[in-house]
Amino acid sequence: MEKKPVAANRRKFLARAREQLLETKTKLLGEIDSELQAERDGNKDEGMDTYDLASEERDREINFILSDRERIKLKQIDDALERLDDGTYGVCEACGLEIAEERLDAMPFSRLCRDCQQDEEREAKSQRSFDNERNAYRKIGSTDADDESA
């Protein structure tokens, strides 16, 4: 495997990838909205009387927690869109090889090729905080990359 110049096919693929990223972002923003709405409604039902005075503060707290979690996903999408602009999208940050298109289809904001990702995941297994990011991948990705690559 050697590094290739950006071929016409690849450029088409990248254009599609951009559209999909934008779609995913729109969908995610919609999901965040309805999640926040559901949380708010649920909490109002539960403790409107008890938490009357504090409810506004609680709302803000819930809002913060949720959007913080979702912000990780949004940032991954925005980063990918930025890299599409500067031409580094789809190029592995660790080894510089083009990331396989099927991998990018499954995980559109992947920054690493499969090999480098596996290296990183081996390290990440000792870091619980990375689990959240991997869950984010699964939630956004339309297909399960682990099954595909088996």
Nearer to Zn ion, 32 or 106 (CB): 106
CB of 88 to Zn ion, least distance (A): 13
95 binds Zn ion per the rule CB under 5 A: yes
Nearby residues of 55 by Cβ (< 8 Å), 6 or more positions away: 43, 44, 47, 48
Per-residue binding letters, 116-135, with Zn ion (x by CB under 5 A): x-------------------
Instruction: Number of residues interacting with Zn ion: please give it, by CB under 5 A.
Output: 5
* Separation of alpha carbons 113 and 93, rounded Å: 8
Nearer to Zn ion, 13 or 51 (CB): 13
Considering only 5-13, 22-30, 106-114, 131-139, which stretch makes contact with Zn ion by CB under 5 A?
Answer: 106-114
Nearby residues of 63 by Cβ (< 8 Å), 6 or more positions away: 36
107 binds Zn ion per the rule CB under 5 A: no
Q: Do residues 81 and 74 lie in contact, with contact meaning Cβ atoms separated by under 8 Å?
A: no
Nearer to Zn ion, 21 or 112 (CB): 112
* Separation of alpha carbons 70 and 96, rounded Å: 29
Beta bridge partners of 98: 91
77 binds Zn ion per the rule CB under 5 A: no
Q: Using alpha carbons, list the distances in angstroms from residue 60 to 11, 37, 39, 111.
A: 43, 12, 11, 33
CB of 24 to Zn ion, least distance (A): 23
92 binds Zn ion per the rule CB under 5 A: yes
Considering only 30-38, 41-49, 64-72, 87-95, which stretch makes contact with Zn ion by CB under 5 A?
Answer: 87-95
